């Protein structure tokens, strides 16, 4: 693509919550500044990690508007606007456009799922409704719906469908998609631990959970890859692989919100049906963060 939405590390931003379960906008603003200061290359709001599934449409739109306003053009803001209902995805996408989002992240339909033909129709109808670029989001472990490489080849014919966040875990599939789509579809890794191999195949970066607590480190990994220094990028990746793995020791975003509380951000708890980590899981995560001297590191941010 001639003008990618971003290159490097995009953070899949958590949505901090107050003790009563409402959105904590004070901490949300704090996190935005933290990421800008630490060289995060884009902010993705209201995605899976942002607990979009438990935000009301009003909350969803308010969070996106707030993030866009506070970022104020310093880095791209990508709005999660996907739904298993096409009309809802369109409504959320139009609202995000009105709020000034730079791009949209649109997940495949979930629960009702659909066929490959249904995916093509769904995404094209959403793309027809807006005038900003769309990143498709393929995460079959959550949705039960997998975008096939040939489907990507059809979808990228739409001028607004310009990229995908690929989280199917299949390197061979990424290679095939790159072969079929070439420069018509940018690829971002949807898994932190696959960023380096994805970028070696031409991906432009990652939409990262790990970046919530280590933004500078994730930016560094991506920047080294963009400089074709994959040997050094692998070293940094291996250094932090234990944390990346620990952040998926329970259902996302339970571990990352727990980690953020431990490193010094008041992210609060997840909304039901997600519940706190087990005692043993909590202590394993805390021990992992302690190895990297991250406990309380950002208390004064």
Catalytic-labelled residue, pool 94, 110, 121, 165: 165
Q: How far apart are CA 241 and CA 243, in angstroms?
A: 5
Decide if 137 is catalytic.
yes
**Per-residue buried b or exposed e for 256-270, using 16+ beta carbons within 10 Å of the residue's own CB:** bbbbbebbbbebbbb
Contacts of residue 193, Cβ cutoff 8 Å, sequence gap at least 6? 237, 241, 244, 245
Tokens 């095939």 found at: 176
Task: Give me the catalytic one of 137, 152, 188, 240.
Answer: 137
94 catalytic, yes or no?
no
Spatial separation of the C-alpha atoms in residues 278 and 255, rounded to whole Å = 10
DSSP code at position 253: T
DSSP state of 3: S
Q: How far apart are CA 255 and CA 240, in angstroms?
A: 16
CA distance 291 to 279: 19
Question: How far apart (Å, rounded) are the C-alpha atoms in residues 83 and 236?
Answer: 35
Query: What are the catalytic residues?
Result: 137, 165
């Amino acid at each position: 693509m001639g003008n990618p939405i971003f290159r490097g590390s995009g953070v899949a931003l958590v949505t901090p919550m107050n003790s009563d379960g409402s959105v904590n906008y004070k901490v949300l603003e704090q996190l935005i500044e933290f990421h800008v200061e630490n060289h995060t290359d884009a902010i993705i709001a209201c995605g899976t990690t942002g607990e979009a599934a438990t935000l009301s449409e009003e909350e969803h739109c308010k969070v996106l508007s707030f993030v866009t306003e506070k970022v104020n053009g310093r880095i791209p803001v990508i709005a999660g606007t996907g739904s298993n209902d096409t009309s809802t995805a369109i409504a959320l996408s139009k609202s995000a456009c009105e709020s000034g989002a730079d791009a949209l992240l649109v997940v495949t339909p979930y629960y009702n799922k659909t066929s490959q033909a249904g995916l093509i129709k769904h995404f094209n109808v959403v793309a027809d409704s807006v005038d900003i670029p769309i990143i498709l989001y393929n995460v079959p472990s959550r949705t039960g719906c997998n975008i096939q490489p040939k489907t990507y080849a059809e979808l990228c014919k739409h001028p607004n469908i310009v990229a995908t966040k690929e989280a199917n875990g299949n390197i061979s599939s990424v290679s095939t998609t790159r072969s079929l789509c070439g420069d018509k579809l940018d690829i971002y890794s949807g898994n932190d631990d696959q960023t380096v191999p994805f970028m070696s195949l031409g991906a432009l970066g990652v939409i990262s959970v790990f970046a919530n607590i280590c933004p500078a480190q994730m930016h560094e990994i991506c920047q080294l890859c963009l400089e074709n220094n994959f040997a050094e990028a692998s070293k940094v990746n291996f250094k932090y692989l234990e944390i990346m793995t620990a952040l998926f020791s329970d259902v996302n975003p339970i571990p990352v919100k727990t980690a953020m509380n431990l490193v010094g951000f008041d992210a609060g708890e997840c909304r039901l049906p997600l519940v706190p980590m087990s005692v043993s899981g909590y202590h394993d995560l805390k021990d992992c963060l302690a190895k990297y001297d991250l406990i309380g590191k950002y208390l004064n941010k």
